[in-house]
Amino acid sequence: MAIYHLSVKPISRRQGRSAVGAAAYRSGEKLHNEYDGLTHDYTRKSGILHTEIMLPENAPHEFNDRQILWNAVEKSETRKDSRTAREIEIALPRELSLDQQLKIVREYVGENFTSQGMCADVAIHSGHRHRNDINLLESKNDKIIFQNNPHAHILLTDRPITKEGFSKKKNRDWNKKENVFKWREQWAMLQNKEFERRGLDIRVSHESHINRGLKEEPTIHLGAKATELERRGIRTERGDKNRAIQERNRMLQERQQRYEREREENRSRDRDRDGSRDYSK
């Protein structure tokens, strides 16, 4: 069953992170950061299905090179605590093939980010965590890499782009909360449009469970030890409890979907019946 997930996270030097390091981890490449002299080598990382860079029309052509792009970003930020990038992390519907997933991701990035002047570095992961990734800083910031959980990382530049490079001033409008609401809504709409186009009887919503009136059970907190064991593929008692809760919630959602379908079918029959009545007598 398709799930909805979208999170927006900063990549900041204050966190001890860099845009170059984040890009290297998500793309599975070896990139050198000219700002701090560190080289990030993730060429042994598994589970990377696709990577590509998407640029606004006025971006320098050389920014198609990942190392050139993110080193230009690092160079444009002079403060020790600067935010160097923004990341959009989204769950991808397993009901779609990789090509179909990539199609809606490209559409989503084009409509919401590159059209606004942001450069985007896209990486699609299968959801398989490499055992050596567990203790890495970048891995700990990836909230949804679990097995068979395909998802995309969209690294976005934080300054408007010109033909000469990045602007000296950041676009503060990109930080507004209404943008996050719009980005969340747009991702749900694109998925649902693709589901409908392909005749799939599933839908996702960007709204919270409270706003949707769903009475799902909350999962319990795993804790650091249980989380670590689960990531290694070792089942825990608390993990089993969460899996049982998730299964009950899945069944609840299926019942809700059946109810909505039956209600719509009844409405359709009522409309057809009303339309066939002869009101001339």
For residue range 239-274, list pLDDT tens digits in order.
888 888 888 877 777 776 666 666 666 666 666 665
The mean pLDDT value for 11-39 works out to: 95
Alpha carbon 267 to its chain's center:
36
Query: Could you tell me the pTM of the whole model?
Result: 0.71
Segment 116-133 mean pLDDT: 80
Dihedral of alpha carbons 59, 64, 69, 70, sign: positive
pLDDT at 221: 72
Per-residue pLDDT averaged across 10-39, rounded?
95
Is residue 3's pLDDT more than 50? yes
Q: Are 53 and 121 in contact (CB under 8 A)?
A: yes
Q: Which of 101, 107, 94 is nearest to 124 (CA)?
A: 101
**Residue 188 confidence (pLDDT):** 93
Confidence of residue 152 (pLDDT cuts 50, 70, 90): very high
**Nearest to 8, CA basis, from 180, 151, 143, 204:** 180
